[in-house]
Structure 1
Amino acid sequence: MCCVAIVTGGSGGIGRAVAERLAQDGTAVVVHYSGNEAKAQDTVKAVTAAGGQATAFGGDVADPEAMAGLFQHATDTFGGIDVIANTAGIMPLAPIAEMDLETFDRIQRTNVRGSFVISRLAARQVRAGGAIINFSTSITRLQMPTYGAYAASKGAVEAMTLILARELRGRDVTVNTIAPGPTATPLFFEGKSEQVINHIASLNPMERLGIPEDIAEVAAFLAGPARWVNGQILYANGGAA
């Protein structure tokens, strides 16, 4: 198992579950956060209470200087970087005809530019035997109304990931994307009625929402034993699509 991971967006939801799951395998974790240091520190405390190693570092995921500082912090603290789990993202929803361009630009800045900034740094610094794990969404296949801007951002992340995997030929670094289905996180629940939530949960054959731990298991697989899985999009959605 690799020994040092950066988890962007690690202060809650899927990011926290990924940080805790990687730590279970003996990985030292740098928990990145954007605006909620208290939640990031809660993740650090949960990891250390379970016997793991973790530290928190804040910054705008789309700011190259701030993220260079994140990578430097990981190297200074733990000696290098082996795994990137890039879970950071935002998901404002509205029909395409109604979404204002300011919100659209904000989504693309965090989800596309942020993923590019992290991927560029990771491509330069992740050690041999390591893994770069980006995050997309099953919405790119489910194509549900109101998700147009979000799905567009994640389609870009998928394309970027597949190309980066081929650009890192000979480096022994895998590059993959996890595409979760609807997952029970605050980001998902925001603005949805109970009726809508229950309908979405019923769409997959498992007839439930995913939980962050479901997604974290896929991240642990890609970070550890999945050395022959490269340049792929893994759909973790209970069979929804």
Structure 2
Amino acid sequence: MLYFYSIEIAYRIFYIIISFVFCLVIGFWHVQIWLLIETYPFLQFSNKKFIATQTTDLIDAVWIITFSTSFLFVYPFFVYQIVLFSKNSWYEYQIHFIIKLFFYSLMLYIISLLFCYYFFLPILLDFLSQWEIKQTKSILNIEIEFRILNYVQWTLTFRYVFCFIFYIITFFTCFFSFLLNSTVKYNLLKSYRKLFIFFNILFIFLIIPSDFYLQFFVISYSFIFYELIFFFLCYKRNSTYLEIN
């Protein structure tokens, strides 16, 4: 029995590797399109050029984009092979659960990716690209030059971190809203409200620039958001208590 399972998983791993290699070849063949897609959030509002200070910068940027895109496209096929391999040992409700979990997770990731790509990332890049000091009578003049390798590394890292944080926040929000009763929610916010606020501010500070007004808005918004939720839970708890009495 172990021999047959080993043969099956070896075949499925072989299929995954072949699919990944095909994705690498196709991605490398159309690398100019992927470079345009990666730089489009910046180029749509700026006419600046990217520079490569070393000979291997462009090659490294191409490989990073190709591998990142290939992993992204081969991931659904990887999950599909895992589900098929484990299908014989799972109950039917477990199969439906893992399919729904994967489907909703994929939809949530696509939504967060599109939101970051079309809305959040262009605004952030536009804000960061304006940090230049150019004055005719000033001794200090600062002009920003954009390296293609650093840009690709930073945007990919930022996008994946943003999607991961968005997924975690959405998951805990749904869990907190639909799977917990009012009493548990009330006790959690009553005991750990400050801790939730701290981690919320910490995560947001990791993805936003160090601007005073923006940080002040984030801190104020976090406090007001959690205090309003706690106030609503207190009101709902008191209303339920009065109805019972």
Question: Normalized against structure 1, the TM-score is what?
Answer: 0.25
Question: Normalized against structure 2, the TM-score is what?
Answer: 0.25
| Pair member with larger Rg | 2
